[in-house]
Each structure stands twice: as structure tokens, then as C-alpha cells.
Chain A
Amino acid sequence: MKKVNIVLSLILVSMFVAMSLLVTSTAMLQDATATPLPTITSVPPVQKPEGAIEVTFWYGLGGLLGNVVQETVNMYNQSQDTYYINAVFQSSYDDTINKINAGLASGDLPNLAQVFEAGTQRMIDTGSITPVQELFERDGLTAVIEDMEPAVRANYTVGGTLYSAPFNSSTAMLYINRAAFIEAGLNPDEPLVTYDDIIAAARALTVKDASGNTTRYGIGLYAETWFFEQIHAVHDTVMGTPANGRGAERMSAYTYNDPIAVQYLEFQKAMVDEGTAIWYGPGGSTPATAAYANGEVAMVFSSIASLRTLVSSAERAGMGVDVGVLYMPRNPDATGKTIVGGASLWITNVGTPEQQEGAWDFVKWALTPEVQAFWSSNTGYYPVLQSAYETDTMKAALELYPQFQVAIDQIRLADITDANTAHVSGTFVSMRQDVIKAMDDFITGKVASAQEALDAAVAVSNELLEEYNSTVSE
């Protein structure tokens, strides 16, 4: 028996020898003395006052940014005692809208919900919401709408109606390691504009060691549909018809298999094939941004909301990465601008009239310059109101993170059109999946042509969109 035990155990051990090697594999150098993440002013929660009307607020933004949501709510609850906002975290953006969908049948809905931009059409289609436009007009507060950042306001306006109150908004940027640029003889203050600029820079920034292994790639790429949408907006090209789904009619067909998309995919593949880019594939944002902070890739696409983490992570990593940001690439004839992503606050038409008033009261309060400045300076999202930039808080934040100004300029590059605003459709989440597959299939060589990969993706997206539209009663 004992011998057998040992023999069988040896089989087991050999099966797992891989894992033990894992423990001994080399670790990276790191310095833990860097500055922490942006400090968050702590606002303690307050007790619900006697007789206050309780308003339920579901949100899906977790982690450190979620703490700021909770603190904003606490500030509101402290500021008055008529209403009490009960903020309940719903695990993620996805789960928040899933829970709302499940609640449609049971009537179990919050008074106020934070929903990501991919859920806009679905929220409208619930028929259980009150467009905030109506409330702004009722209370004679259209000046607040006028004060909103145009790109942000446009993002939540469908068919001329502002449906939800913008809350957290960001855009995509090209992050560069300024130190690597200088080292490679490039001028970090001379912006890269076109695809060719980036391809050339990536070549110069790629470093190989004596044995031919790449120690630094020019750029770290990954399959992310948001950037694909950005490229369309930058070139004033719609993702679908009619009018990106933004007009009176809902979107009936995706058209993103266009030359702009083909060019963008080919641009990425060119660098991957040259060995000047590394392809992290679907879900690759975590490794790509980590590689950037560690100086292993000199450029990466990411959200402006990641700026603070990337700055502090780069400091901690101690590889001398100097964080700079540039616009998303554009052809010389491009007339558009980038879009904003993020989430907004939706007021539902369930609950008592007092509760609905409470939800509206919170939204009104949140859309004041001071609150926006607090929110923006603690999170790294845009302030929703332009007047927030005049507050001292915002001025200080911009001084601390001057890169943020580039992001502000980028969404103001062009006048608003339907094509340079994010599209709206009932099958947004699924469409993103289809584009990711097309990108990955083409860049890893599973499908020979970008056009072919995109054509296949559009067909799948449209099948689902058609089915979705057929279930919605107008």
C-alpha cells in the first residue's frame, strides 16, 4: 500500500510541478515609497433623520471611486433633512442593469440608478423612467443644461431629449512614456497625430536586448471596442444607422464595417506584425496598463480616468516612467472628436411622488459647480458642468494633473454631431463583444482580412439588433 501511495503521489506531484515553479519564478523590482493614490476626503455617513423621505439609489461603481460616490451621497444627506438617499451598491454596472431588468417584472426598482452609457437605449425602453429634461424644464433650470459640457450632455441626449443626468464621464487617450521618447530621440512635446506618426514612433521606441528579445515594445494594444467607437467619432463616422441611433428613430442596423474601421484594424496589425506592438487580446487592459507603468511598453490607449493610478503606479514601479497624454490618432482630414463614456443617473417613475422628488432633488444638488468640482477632483472624471472649472478645487486639481487639460481639449475639438457622439442601441453590450472578436481574429491572423472579420461581426450584431427591436413595443 505504502509504495502505491508514494507512486501515485509522485504522479500528482509531477502534475503540479508547474505550479511550484510558478512560485520560484522571478519577481520584478519595485519601490513602495511612491505617493499613494489621490487622497479621498472622508465624509462619514449620517443617520437617517426622523421623518425624512427615503430615496433608494442603486449604483455600480465600486472600489475607490465607489467610496467617492458614497461620500457624495453622505454630503447630500448632511446638507438637508427632507430626503435621505439610501445608496445601495449593486456589484457592477452590468449587475446594476441586470437587476433593474429583473426588477421590471416584479416592480422592484430603485428611485434613482447609476447606469453605464451602454444601457441608455435599454433604460429608455423600460418605460419606467422620467427623462430629466422634463424636470429641468418644469423647474425652469434649463440654464444648468446649457452649462453642461457639450460632449457630455450630447451623450445622454436622444431624439433631442436629455434622458439622464450625466454623472461620471471620461474619454480615451493615448498615454506615452515621455522619458522613453526622450531616450529614443523623439520629442515628447511634439504630438503624434496620425497612424503613421504612431507607427514610426513605435518603431523608434522598441528596444531589443542582445539576444533579440524585445525588452520594450513601442505600444501595448488590446481588444477594446470603446477605442474602436472613439476612432469612428474622431472621423465623424456613424457606427450604425439612422444617425447613430440618436435621432427620433431607433438604430436599425450597424454599419461599422466601414473603411475607417478597416484602417484602424490594419494600423494595429501592422505594428503587431512588425514586432513594435504587443497584442494583449481581449480583456487585456490590466496587463497592458501594468506594462505601461512598468516601462515595458512606451505607449498605451486608456481612459483619462486611469490617469491618477497610472501616475502613482509608475512612481511606485520606479522604472522612471513619465506619464504624458495625447489625443487619439486621427487622419489629417478628420473632423470629429472623441466621445465620452461612463455612467449617468436615471430617475425612475416608481415609488411615491415624494420619493421621485427626492431623487430629482439629489440630481439637482449633484449638478452644482461645487459638487462637480468635489466629484471630479477626487475621481479623475470630467466635471459635468463647465462652470466647475472656475472653482478653486478644480484649478488645484488641474495644477496637480496638467495632463487632464489635454483630455478636456480633446472632447472640445469639434462641434457636436450625431456621428461624433457615442451611438445608442438596445444591443450595445453584445455589439462590443462582436467587435472584439473581429479585432482579435484579424490581429492574431485567424481571419485574413480586416474587412472580412468586420463583415462577419456586423452580420452577428445586426441579427441580434433586429431581434431586440422586434420585441420592443413603440
Chain B
Amino acid sequence: MFQTRSARLRYHLVAYTLLILASIILMSPLFFALSLALQGATAAPSLIPTDFTKLDWGVFAAVFEQQPIIARWIANSFVQASGVTIGVLITSSLLAYALSYLNFPGKTILLFFALGSLMIPFEVTLIPNYLFISRIGWKDSYQGLIVPFLASGFGVFLLRQYFMTLPRELYDAAVVDGCGRLRYLWSILLPLSRPALATLAVYTFLSTWNQFYWPLLVTNSNEWRTTQVGITIFRNFEYAVFNIQMAATLIVMLPTLILLVLGQRQLVRGLTAGALKG
């Protein structure tokens, strides 16, 4: 790969410098949040703590002390986000498959029907959907949190774009060989699309995790709150003091970050499988 050892060294030096620099820049807002969390209850925090011996690490414990129920909120968010993710993967891959492999009238209209769902501001759907869920008695329930989000215009579009990059000949050959269309989807197309599916899964999971207005409306008790709604209880009023709010924000970020690290390995494996050759 490299002609000389010095070329190799130079390559690594430049590469790591850039990688580390980019990482620091990207992470700095998070360090800043941590810094604010650790400076105690003050209306006048500084960017970097001036005295590192006086950091208030107890702030994280204070979050759990004040709201022990935060564990339940995290669990609720986890169930909701997982349910939505699985549902979206199924509905999106079916519809995207139809859009990219079948030839039928009204295909573009169907694509835009799915895409159109992304263009409608949430204010339009919020109240009617809330009344509907309320009427069928799904408040304070996982189905109320999950079902309205089981289809995603985003997911359909992402998978459609990805499926379109896969060699069409594969499909034609499989169909000629008598492979059923759903079987093709399940045993050839989806395994080939692992990176896109993983991306969609991560995206869907996290955007569901970060929902605010919907869970606020359809949950009425502390037990059914999700994390983003729940942690607003740490936001101070009359006091511009942010330490506990920042600590709580970091705490609920942690499960998603861990999930990301685990999911990342899956992503990378899918990506480097090189399944597209040939």
C-alpha cells in the first residue's frame, strides 16, 4: 500500500490528526453540557470549570434521588422506540420493495404519497390523532405510543433509494428461477440491504426516543411518561440554573449512545461485508 515507511507514517499522522480534531469538535458541545452539569447550582456557570477539585459529581445521583421513576421512563421509551422500529422496518421494506421492483401504474404517485407524509407539519396530525387515540382508549398504553408511527415516509424513501442501487439482474434471475417475490425480498434483498436497514433502524429508534409532544398528550400519568417528556421536570423556573437539567439530559442520552455503539458494530459489519460484488 505504501512505497516507503515514511509515507506510511505520514499517512497515519495526518489521518489521526484529522480524525482526532474532528472528534474533538464534534464532541465539544457534550463536554460543555458535562461542564455545566458539574458546576453546581449557579446562575453564572463558566464554560470550563475553573476548579476541577470542586466538581459536583453528586448531581447525577440527585437526578435519581429527585425522580427515581426515571428508570421507568427510560424503559417506556425503550419499548416504544423498539416497537416503532420493528414496525417501520417491516412496513417500509414491503412498500419500498413494491416501489423499486414492481412495475405498475401510479408508482410515482404511491412514492409521493409516502413522501408526502414527511411534508405535513406535525401540528396538522397531532390533535386529530390524539382525539382518535383517546376515543379508542389507548391513552397511557404502549399501543397509543407506537401504532401511529408504524409507517414512515422516510423509511420508504430510504429503502427505495437503496434498493435501486442494487443490481436489477439479480431480481430478474431470481424470478426466472422461480423464486417467489416475497422470498426474494426476505432471503436476498433484505440481507443485501443490511446497512440501509440498520441505518433506518438506528434513525427510527432514536427519533422515536426523542419524541416530545405526542407522548406528552397521550400519557396522563407519571408511570407512562417517556424520557423526553419526563426530564422536563428538571428544567428550572424563575431560576436560570441548569446543572440538574444538564445531568438529566446526559443520563437519558447514555442509553441511546450505548445502543449506538452496539449498533455501530452491526452497521460496520454490514457495510464491510462487500456483498455487492458480482
Q: A interface vs B, CB < 8 Å?
A: 2, 6, 9-10, 12-13, 16-17, 19-20, 22-23, 25, 27-34, 36-37, 56, 61-67, 86, 88-93, 95, 99, 102, 105-106, 108, 170, 285-286, 289-291, 293-294, 303, 305-306, 309-310, 312-313, 316-317, 380
Residues of A within 8 A of B236 (CB): 62-65
User: Closest CB-CB distance, B33 to chain A, in whole Å?
Assistant: 13
Closest to B41 in A: A37
A36 to B22, CA, bound (A): 38
Residues of B within 8 A of A61 (CB): 237
Q: B interface vs A, CB < 8 Å?
A: 11, 14-15, 18, 21-22, 24-26, 28, 31, 39-51, 54, 56, 66, 127, 130-131, 134-135, 139, 216-217, 220-222, 229, 232-241, 244-245
Known: A19-B28, A102-B127, A306-B239. 15 other contacts (CB 8 A): A6-B18, A16-B22, A17-B25, A23-B47, A27-B49, A30-B45, A30-B49, A64-B239, A290-B43, A293-B42, A293-B43, A309-B43, A309-B241, A310-B43, A313-B44
Query: Are A317 and B22 touching (Cβ within 8 A)?
Result: no
Query: Are B240 and A289 touching (Cβ within 8 A)?
Result: yes
Residues of B within 8 A of A86 (CB): 221
A93 to B232, CA, bound (A): 12
Query: Are A13 and B134 touching (Cβ within 8 A)?
Result: no
Closest to A286 in B: B240
Closest to A92 in B: B232
Closest to A342 in B: B238
User: Closest CB-CB distance, B275 to chain A, in whole Å?
Assistant: 21
User: Closest CB-CB distance, B219 to chain A, in whole Å?
Assistant: 9
Pull 21 A–B residue pairs with CB atoms less than 8 Å apart, ordered by A. A9-B22, A13-B18, A22-B47, A23-B24, A25-B47, A31-B51, A36-B40, A56-B220, A61-B237, A64-B241, A91-B229, A92-B235, A99-B216, A286-B43, A293-B42, A293-B44, A305-B238, A306-B239, A309-B239, A309-B240, A313-B44
Residues of B within 8 A of A108 (CB): 134, 139, 220
Q: Which of B26, B51, B217 contacts A30 (CB 8 A)?
A: B51
User: Closest CB-CB distance, A369 to chain B, in whole Å?
Assistant: 23
A133 to B134, CA, bound (A): 33
Query: Are A170 and B232 touching (Cβ within 8 A)?
Result: no
**Given A32-B51, A64-B239, A108-B139, also A317-B42 (CB < 8 A):** yes
A92 to B245, CA, bound (A): 14
User: Closest CB-CB distance, B73 to chain A, in whole Å?
Assistant: 12
Query: Are B22 and A12 touching (Cβ within 8 A)?
Result: yes
Query: Are A294 and B44 touching (Cβ within 8 A)?
Result: yes
Query: Are A312 and B42 touching (Cβ within 8 A)?
Result: yes
Closest to B219 in A: A88
User: Closest CB-CB distance, B31 to chain A, in whole Å?
Assistant: 7
Residues of A within 8 A of B239 (CB): 37, 63-65, 306, 309
Query: Are B237 and A62 touching (Cβ within 8 A)?
Result: yes
Residues of B within 8 A of A56 (CB): 220
A233 to B66, CA, bound (A): 39
Query: Are A2 and B232 touching (Cβ within 8 A)?
Result: no
A34 to B21, CA, bound (A): 37
Query: Are A27 and B240 touching (Cβ within 8 A)?
Result: no
**Given A30-B50, A62-B233, A289-B43, also A9-B18 (CB < 8 A):** yes
**Given A29-B50, A290-B44, A303-B238, also A102-B233 (CB < 8 A):** no
Query: Are A317 and B44 touching (Cβ within 8 A)?
Result: yes
A380 to B216, CA, bound (A): 29
**Given A32-B51, A285-B240, A313-B44, also A63-B235 (CB < 8 A):** yes
Query: Are A23 and B28 touching (Cβ within 8 A)?
Result: yes
**Given A20-B21, A294-B44, A313-B43, also A170-B238 (CB < 8 A):** yes
A93 to B235, CA, bound (A): 12
Residues of B within 8 A of A66 (CB): 233, 237
Residues of B within 8 A of A34 (CB): 42
Residues of B within 8 A of A291 (CB): 44
In the complex, the 8 A-B pairs of residues with the closest C-beta atoms, listed nearest first = A63-B236, A313-B43, A32-B54, A286-B240, A106-B134, A305-B238, A309-B239, A28-B46
Residues of A within 8 A of B241 (CB): 37, 63-64, 309, 313
Q: Which of A105, A106, A290 contacts B240 (CB 8 A)?
A: A290
Q: Which of A10, A16, A102, A306 contacts B130 (CB 8 A)?
A: A102
Most interface-central of B50, B221, B245 (chain A CB within 10 A): B50
Most interface-central of A91, A285, A317 (chain B CB within 10 A): A91
A430 to B216, CA, bound (A): 23
Residues of A within 8 A of B234 (CB): 62-63
A46 to B162, CA, bound (A): 55
Residues of B within 8 A of A99 (CB): 216-217
Residues of A within 8 A of B47 (CB): 22-23, 25, 27-28
A286 to B240, CA, bound (A): 6
A93 to B134, CA, bound (A): 23
Query: Are B222 and A89 touching (Cβ within 8 A)?
Result: yes
Most interface-central of A23, A33, A34, A65 (chain B CB within 10 A): A23
Residues of A within 8 A of B21 (CB): 13, 20
Residues of A within 8 A of B48 (CB): 23, 27
Query: Are B237 and A90 touching (Cβ within 8 A)?
Result: no
Q: Which of B217, B244, B245 contacts A102 (CB 8 A)?
A: B217
A61 to B235, CA, bound (A): 9
Closest to B221 in A: A88
User: Closest CB-CB distance, B23 to chain A, in whole Å?
Assistant: 11
**Given A27-B48, A65-B238, also A88-B222 (CB < 8 A):** yes
Residues of A within 8 A of B235 (CB): 62-63, 92
Query: Are B222 and A106 touching (Cβ within 8 A)?
Result: no
Closest to B127 in A: A102
A361 to B133, CA, bound (A): 32
Closest to A288 in B: B240
Query: Are B130 and A106 touching (Cβ within 8 A)?
Result: yes
Closest to A19 in B: B25
Residues of B within 8 A of A91 (CB): 216, 229, 232-233
Query: Are B25 and A20 touching (Cβ within 8 A)?
Result: yes
Closest to A60 in B: B237
A459 to B8, CA, bound (A): 70
Residues of B within 8 A of A67 (CB): 66
A32 to B57, CA, bound (A): 13
Residues of A within 8 A of B131 (CB): 105-106
User: Closest CB-CB distance, A245 to chain B, in whole Å?
Assistant: 25
**Given A91-B229, A108-B139, also A63-B11 (CB < 8 A):** no
Query: Are B51 and A63 touching (Cβ within 8 A)?
Result: no
Residues of A within 8 A of B66 (CB): 67
User: Closest CB-CB distance, B135 to chain A, in whole Å?
Assistant: 7
A37 to B275, CA, bound (A): 60
